[in-house]
Structure 1
Amino acid sequence: MAEQQPIIISGAGPVGLTLAEILTQQGIPVVVLEKSTQPSKEWRASTFHAGTLELLESTGLAKELLKLGIVADKVQYRDRTTGLYAEFDFGLLKEETKYPFRLQLPQSTYVKLLNERLQKSELAELRYGTEVTGMQQDEEGVTVTVQTAEGIKTLRTPYLLGADGARSTIRKLMGMPFEGYTLEERFLLVGTPVPFSNYLPDISYVNYISDPQEFLFILKVPEAWRLLYPIPPSVSDEEALSDQRIQGSLQRALQTTDQFPIVERMIYRVHQRVADQFYQGRAVLLGDAAHINSPMGGLGLNSGIHDAVDLGRRMVRIIQGQTDPEAELAMYSQVRRKVAIEYVKQITEKNTSVLTEKDPEKRVKMQQEYAEMANDPVRARSWLLRSGMIASVREQGIGNRPDTVATDSKQ
């Protein structure tokens, strides 16, 4: 293993760095390429689900994250006018998992933690300011062309793993279709250190608030309370990001005339897209490079981490010569693509529809359905297992050997 040619990972975001951590812990050297000159400090995603914490436990990352994050043991669904209509209590999962909650902390904290760990590893080389511009595959590996401050260079690797985000260069170089749709409206994420509980005393740390005109997603992270809401197509990015408009949105959400200090503001384009296939030869996609979805549910970061764990386990077997590489990558693509479509996409679209439904009768009916589900322990437990990404792991597996899956399916 000491003579193993490094695996190249494109992208030093949370997904690429998770994969690097998994591989190096198993003695596999990696080179991580990142076009930015430093680790990302963007807060972006901020939820770690129970299923994700379970998968990260063996790496030691779950223990570290618990020291840094906030435990959210309930999720509330509210109506802007009528108030709370459904509350899901993660306590229903206390017999199912060691982590009966959502852990809230920004992805930038997770990236910082991973970066610090990998910088100490003799098997990890992190190259910031290095952008992949080309690749050429053959039967033995991939030749990767990169642009650096010193000029153009070429690198050689047995496998190129693309965790380089929604605009993935690796996916484009593969010529892989990325079908789906983009919503016309954008989302604006705003953060303030002022406690929202001062204005909504019974609010939980995670809240979905229905409104046909301007739905809200409110949650707490260690540094701030965060508010996510849509921007109408008629409003420019510049106007949406203005202090006046942001203050107005916060004041309407919290029913106050107070002014709020703003510590973050970011506009999201909202997509639901999945690549046709997650690999091609020795190039593999994961995270946002393979699938992107609405932030309604906090599943994007988590499903990307699940990709990294799944692919990491398979790459260890491949590099150690324990398995058929083609069968492993085909199984990875099949399973992770199915999860992206049948779990992540369905959950996020369901959450979005209950928040944005404009027809009054349909909106009330959907809210009643959520209320009934939350009040039924059996149905609520099923919902929590699915939204916490425990169900997808149990039902589809993570990194299972292809021969084991084939044997099970025949029984």
Structure 2
Amino acid sequence: MSSGKHVLVVGTGPAGIVSAYGLALKGARVTLIDRETQVIDSPRAMVYLPSTVKALDKLGLLDEARKLGPESYDYQCYFAQSGNVGRMDHRLVQDLTPYHFILHFGQDVLANMVLERLLALPGTEVKWGTTLEAIEQRDDQVLATVSDATGQHVIAADWLIGADGARSTVRKLIGATFDGFTWPDTFMATNIEFDFGKHGFADSNMVSDPVNWAVIARIDNSGLWRVAYGEDSELTEQERLDRVDQRLRHWLPEGAEYRLVRANSYRVHQRSASSYRAGRVLLAGDAAHATNPIGGMGFTSGIQDAVTLVDLLAKVLNGETSDDVLDWYAYERRRIFLEIANPTAIEFKRRTQEADPQKRLEDEQNFLHLVEDTDTMRVALMSIFGLESRPYQVGWRESVVPEDQQRSGSDKAKSLVGGTTSTLRHTEEIE
């Protein structure tokens, strides 16, 4: 099957590269552009939850992905107030899904692996050091003005996918707002060489504490681990870097030796684009939505954006259906972010950083009850698949939307088609 249609993808993060690869597999000509000169390797997402594992398998990438890093089954939560520990084991759902494990490796490793496969396919190219300047839409194509070291050029494509991150140029050019807010917190991400596994840690861990909270997770097979924690937003970046050893000592065994490999700080957001589609332009990944990383909702949602877009846009490119399926993509992916990913990420952050002693006790009791109740834990473990899109239905506006309105409340459900929700009020862009 080959359509010969041309798709321009802006952004070489996971959502962009996975979208490009999936569409190229289905016969599209694909051009991928990025203002950077290579895949960014700063500390970012590196935990692949079961729904992402399933998505990689769908694209034929899982066998190779399993060679890139370790597999794990456990998630562990430390409650600093009491010293108690609760552990969830994904093997409890192995009778329900073959995707009952987690993979660990950096998102840059995934991007480079998929990029190599992409460029082996006919009709594909990557233009590094290329900046999007303008978009012009016509009835049958979209014209993108880009600039590189040789000057300005125009790339004509049938469709354009904006996967260019939370500061997306594509989103701004189509006039979509980025509704929501930026947290006052500053997050610090450190990659260190130290074997936490020998000291009672699972491969994925959350430390619940109002000051010394942390997310600690294994990155790869070489002994590299990620420790992410909160830092003072009033400090300079250098001051935060100078405090890394002092902060890490809260979670390392006394006197432990380690090697700091990478460290950087970043701000976190809870935001969604007002629309994920404008004509022949579609948004995916962080260009469409941004969330704090605790719980992995942002990266996981972005991969689901990509696999949904591959399925639906490929059908349009090959003349199998009308572009109404792309309106469905925009509706469904926005619904999932606003109804599931966004509130889940906010709740993960609250539980990790909760300061009220009574609420912390309640959180602990609820979690420990969860891990002691096998049926409840099985439901919780399977809930990650709720980030997958529902199948497209002809006439979805008349059938699915009213059902969503009834389930979630009329005003909120209507806002999923365009506009904001009560949890995403502010509309200023990220600078």
* Structure 2 length-normalised TM: 0.89
Q: What SS does structure 2 have at the residue aligned with 1:41?
A: coil
CA–CA distance in structure 1, aligned partners of residues 218 and 382 of structure 2: 22
Quickly say closer, same or farther: Cα 1:98–1:64, change in 2 above 3 A. same
Deviation at 1:3, TM superposition (A): 7.1
Deviation at 1:233, TM superposition (A): 2.5
Deviation at 1:178, TM superposition (A): 0.6
Deviation at 1:75, TM superposition (A): 0.6
Q: Which residue of 2 aligns with 1:40?
A: 40
Deviation at 1:2, TM superposition (A): 6.0
Q: Which residue of 2 aligns with 1:402?
A: 393
CA–CA distance in structure 2, aligned partners of residues 51 and 328 of structure 1: 22
Aligned partner letter, 1:96: L
Aligned partner letter, 2:85: Y
Which of 347, 358, 361 aligns to 2:355? It is 358
Which of 359, 372, 377 aligns to 1:375? It is 372
Q: Deviations over 1:266-314 (max 9, x none)?
A: 2121111011110111111000000011110112122111101101111
Q: What SS does structure 1 have at the residue aligned with 2:233?
A: coil
Which of 203, 206, 230 aligns to 2:204? It is 206
Aligned pairs (5 A) from 1:67-82: 67-82=67-82
Deviation at 1:255, TM superposition (A): 4.0
Q: What SS does structure 2 have at the residue aligned with 1:402?
A: coil
CA–CA distance in structure 2, aligned partners of residues 29 and 43 of structure 1: 31
Q: What SS does structure 2 have at the residue aligned with 1:254?
A: coil
* Structure 1 length-normalised TM: 0.93
Aligned partner letter, 1:392: L
Aligned pair count? 400
Q: Which residue of 2 aligns with 1:273?
A: 271
CA–CA distance in structure 2, aligned partners of residues 14 and 403 of structure 1: 30
Q: Which residue of 1 aligns with 2:288?
A: 290
Q: Which residue of 1 aligns with 2:132?
A: 132
1:19 aligns with 2:19: yes
Deviation at 1:12, TM superposition (A): 1.3
Stretches (4+) displaced over 4 A: 404-411
1:168 aligns with 2:163: no
Deviation at 1:86, TM superposition (A): 1.9
Which of 214, 217, 234 aligns to 2:215? It is 217
Aligned partner letter, 1:10: V
Q: Deviations over 1:105-132 (max 9, x none)?
A: 1101101101111121122111111111
8 Å contact kept, 1:75–1:207 = yes
Aligned pairs (5 A) from 1:11-410: 11-198=11-198, 201-222=199-220, 223=222, 224-242=224-242, 245-325=243-323, 327-386=324-383, 389-393=384-388, 396-397=389-390, 400-403=391-394, 409=400
Deviation at 1:328, TM superposition (A): 1.2
CA–CA distance in structure 2, aligned partners of residues 190 and 138 of structure 1: 46
Quickly say closer, same or farther: Cα 1:2–1:241, change in 2 above 3 A. same
CA–CA distance in structure 2, aligned partners of residues 404 and 67 of structure 1: 43
CA–CA distance in structure 1, aligned partners of residues 364 and 335 of structure 2: 28
Quickly say closer, same or farther: Cα 1:390–1:339, change in 2 above 3 A. same
Quickly say closer, same or farther: Cα 1:373–1:151, change in 2 above 3 A. same
CA–CA distance in structure 2, aligned partners of residues 348 and 84 of structure 1: 23
Unaligned 5+ segments in structure 2 are 404-431
8 Å contact kept, 1:46–1:298 = no
